[in-house]
C-alpha cells in the first residue's frame, strides 16, 4: 500500500469502522482516480459519512434524511433481479425490498445489498437514508450502509409488530400501511372514475374524531353508512398524496357501525367533530408533516413572485412559460390568477397558495379586471406589484391543508376571510408576550383614551 495513502485509510477506519465492508475504501479510491489528493478525499468521505449520526425510530422518518442509525425487525422481505443497463458499470444484480418495523411503526425498505437476516430477525442499520417513492417515505440501505444482526430482547416480537395498529386520525402518517380506527363520517359523495378502461363507482368524503380530520375513499359499497354515522374501520390502507395521508377502504377492509352503547364511551360525537376546527398557531402546524382542514391567522408579510395572472396548460393545468408546458410542449395557455403569499403569526411563517376564486375575493378584482390593469399599464408585472401594495401587512385567516417539506410549510387555502378579532385584543396579546412593561404601558395608553382599533 502507498505510504502516502495508508495513514488516511487508517484514520477512516478509526472514524467509520470496517471501510472494506461498507464500500468506503472503494469510494476513497474512486476519488483518487479522479486525481483528488488523498487528504481531500479523506476529508470528503468524513464529511459524507462521518458526521454525527442520529439514532432514529420509524416514527421519526421523513423525506431526504441521510446518515442515521435505526434498529428494528424485518417483517417481510423479497428480492427481484435487476436487468443490467447497456454501457453501465457493474453494479448490484438484485434489489431487496420489504417491510421494516419497530415499536413506533413500520416502513417499506429497499436494499442494494443482501441483508444478514430474514423475516423476524432484528437488524441494526448504520448510514441509512430515506427517499420518497410513490409519495411515501422509504427506508433505503445503500452500498455504504453497515447492517448487522442484533439481540432483539428490547424489540416487540414479530407477532406483535405484525398486528394492525389502532390509531387516532392525528397519528396516521406516511409510515403507516394499514390501520384500524374509529371515526364519524362528516362528508360523503358518490362518483364514477375510470379504472383500467372501465367506469368504477367510488365513495369519497371526510372522517373525523376528537383529534383531527382526514379524507377517505371507499372502493366498496358502504351499506347503511351515511353522513353522521360513527364507524369502526379495520384494515384500512393508507395512501399519500402531496404529503397528506388518505384512508382507503378496500375489499379486505372491514367497516361496521358503532353501537349506541359503544358510541357513548367515545371522546367525540358527530356534533362535536363537525364543529369548525379551532385556529392553530403556525409553529404547531410546522411541528407536523401534514395537516388536513386546519385554520390559521396572521399577517401577510410578503407576496411572492409568481403571483398575479398566469397561464396554464389546457391539458394538465401546469403553469406554462412562454407558451411551453414541460409535459405537453407548445400549447395555447388558459388564463388564470393566483396569489402566493407568506403568512406570519409571530410564532412562525408559512407559504400560502390562494387559487383564483380566493385570489379574486381577497384582492377585490376579478381576473378580467386584473387583465385590464395589466393591459392599461402595459406591464406583465402590473398585477403582481398591485397585489404587493394592496395585501402586504393585511391580517387574514385561512382554512385548508398544509404539508411540511424541504422549503418549509406549504398551505393550500380553501377559504379565506378577515377575522372579527378586535385589533386592541391582538395588540394586548402581542404586548403580553413581549413582557409586563409593554403590557402596562399599553394599559396606560388605552386608559388615556387613545383607541387601538
Pairing of strands 395-405, 408-417: antiparallel
Q: In this predicted structure, what is the pLDDT of residue 377? A: 75
Whole-number Å distance between alpha carbons of 183 and 213 = 9
Q: In this predicted structure, what is the pLDDT of residue 90? A: 57
Q: In this predicted structure, what is the pLDDT of residue 452? A: 32
Per-residue pLDDT of the chain (453 residues), as tens digits, is: 577 788 888 877 766 767 777 778 888 888 888 878 888 888 777 766 665 568 899 888 877 788 899 999 999 999 888 766 555 555 567 889 999 999 888 888 999 889 998 999 999 999 899 987 876 788 999 888 889 999 877 889 888 888 888 999 998 887 788 899 999 999 999 988 887 778 888 999 999 999 999 999 998 999 999 999 999 999 999 888 777 889 999 989 999 999 999 999 999 999 999 999 999 999 999 988 889 999 999 999 999 999 999 999 999 989 998 889 988 889 999 999 999 999 999 999 999 999 999 999 999 999 999 999 988 877 778 999 999 999 999 999 999 999 887 678 999 999 999 887 666 666 777 677 777 665 555 555 444 443 333
Burial 135-172 (b: 16+ CB within 10 A, else e): ebbbbbbbebbbbeeeebeebeebeebbeebebebeeb
Residue 302 CA, distance from chain mean position: 23
Q: In this predicted structure, what is the pLDDT of residue 450? A: 35
- Write out the CATH class of domain 169-273: mainly beta
Q: In this predicted structure, what is the pLDDT of residue 308? A: 93
Nearest to 393 by CA among 341, 357, 452: 341
The domain 282-417 is classified under which CATH number: 3.40.50.10800, 3.30.70.580, 3.40.50.620, 2.40.50.140? 2.40.50.140
- Helix ranges (H only) for 203-269 are 260-263
Query: Is the pTM for the entire model greater than 0.75?
Result: no
**Domains 169-273 and 282-417 in one fold:** yes
For residue 163, how many C-alpha atoms fall within 13 Å in the half-sphere facing its CB? Answer: 9
Whole-number Å distance between alpha carbons of 214 and 207 = 5
Pairing of strands 244-249, 213-218: parallel
User: Do 168 and 267 meet the contact criterion of CB atoms below 8 Å apart?
Assistant: no
Q: In this predicted structure, what is the pLDDT of residue 449? A: 41
Q: In this predicted structure, what is the pLDDT of residue 211? A: 94
SS (H, E, C) 115-169: CCCCCCCEEEEEEEEEEEECCEEEEEECCCCEEEECCCCCCCCHHHHCCCCECCH
Whole-number Å distance between alpha carbons of 420 and 437 = 27
Q: Where are the domains of the chain?
A: 6-49, 54-81+90-161, 169-273, 282-417
The domain 54-81+90-161 is classified under which CATH number: 2.40.50.140, 3.40.47.10, 3.10.20.30, 2.40.50.100? 2.40.50.140
Whole-number Å distance between alpha carbons of 162 and 102 = 10
Whole-number Å distance between alpha carbons of 338 and 318 = 13
Q: In this predicted structure, what is the pLDDT of residue 440? A: 58
Q: In this predicted structure, what is the pLDDT of residue 193? A: 81
Amino acid at each position: 500500500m502507498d505510504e502516502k495513502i495508508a495513514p488516511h485509510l487508517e484514520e477512516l477506519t478509526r472514524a467509520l469502522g470496517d471501510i472494506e465492508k461498507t464500500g468506503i475504501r472503494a469510494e476513497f479510491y474512486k476519488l483518487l482516480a479522479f486525481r483528488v489528493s488523498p487528504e481531500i478525499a479523506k476529508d470528503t468521505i468524513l464529511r459524507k459519512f462521518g458526521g454525527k449520526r442520529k439514532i432514529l425510530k420509524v416514527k421519526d422518518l421523513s423525506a431526504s434524511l441521510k446518515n442515521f442509525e435505526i434498529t428494528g425487525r424485518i417483517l417481510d422481505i423479497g428480492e427481484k433481479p435487476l436487468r443490467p443497463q447497456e454501457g453501465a458499470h457493474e453494479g448490484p444484480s438484485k434489489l431487496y425490498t420489504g417491510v421494516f418495523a419497530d415499536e413506533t411503526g413500520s416502513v417499506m425498505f429497499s436494499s442494494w445489498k443482501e441483508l444478514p437476516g430474514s423475516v423476524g430477525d432484528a437488524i441494526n442499520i448504520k448510514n441509512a437514508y430515506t427517499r420518497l417513492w410513490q409519495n411515501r417515505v422509504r427506508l433505503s440501505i445503500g452500498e455504504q450502509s453497515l447492517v448487522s444482526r442484533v439481540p432483539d430482547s428490547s424489540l416487540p416480537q414479530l407477532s406483535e409488530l405484525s398486528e394492525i395498529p389502532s390509531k387516532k386520525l392525528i397519528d396516521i402518517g406516511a409510515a403507516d400501511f394499514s390501520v384500524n380506527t374509529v371515526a364519524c363520517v362528516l362528508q360523503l359523495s358518490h362518483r364514477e372514475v375510470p379504472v383500467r378502461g372501465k367506469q368504477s363507482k367510488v365513495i369519497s368524503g371526510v372522517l373525523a374524531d376528537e383529534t383531527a380530520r382526514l379524507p377517505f375513499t371507499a372502493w366498496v359499497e358502504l351499506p347503511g353508512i351515511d353522513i353522521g354515522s360513527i364507524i369502526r374501520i379495520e384494515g384500512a390502507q393508507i395512501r399519500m398524496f402531496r404529503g397528506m395521508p388518505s384512508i382507503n377502504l378496500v375489499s379486505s377492509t372491514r367497516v361496521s357501525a358503532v353501537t349506541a352503547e359503544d358510541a357513548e364511551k367515545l371522546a367525540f360525537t358527530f356534533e362535536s367533530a363537525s364543529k369548525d376546527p379551532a385556529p392553530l398557531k403556525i409553529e404547531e402546524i410546522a411541528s407536523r408533516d401534514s395537516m388536513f382542514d386546519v385554520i390559521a391567522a396572521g399577517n401577510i408579510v410578503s407576496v411572492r413572485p409568481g403571483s398575479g395572472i398566469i397561464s396554464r396548460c389546457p391539458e394538465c393545468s401546469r403553469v406554462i412559460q412562454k407558451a411551453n408546458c414541460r409535459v405537453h410542449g407548445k400549447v395555447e395557455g388558459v388564463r388564470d390568477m393566483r396569489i402566493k403569499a407568506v403568512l406570519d403569526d409571530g410564532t412562525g411563517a408559512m407559504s400560502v397558495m390562494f387559487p383564483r376564486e380566493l385570489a379574486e375575493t381577497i384582492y377585490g378584482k376579478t381576473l378580467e379586471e386584473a387583465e385590464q390593469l395589466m393591459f392599461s399599464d402595459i406591464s406583465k408585472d402590473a398585477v403582481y406589484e398591485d397585489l404587493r401594495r394592496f395585501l402586504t401587512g393585511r391580517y387574514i385567516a385561512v382554512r385548508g391543508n398544509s404539508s411540511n417539506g424541504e422549503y418549509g410549510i406549504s398551505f393550500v387555502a380553501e377559504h379565506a376571510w378577515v377575522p372579527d378579532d378586535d385589533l386592541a385584543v391582538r395588540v394586548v396579546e402581542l404586548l403580553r408576550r413581549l413582557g409586563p412593561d409593554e403590557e402596562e404601558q399599553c394599559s396606560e395608553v388605552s386608559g388615556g383614551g387613545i383607541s387601538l382599533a
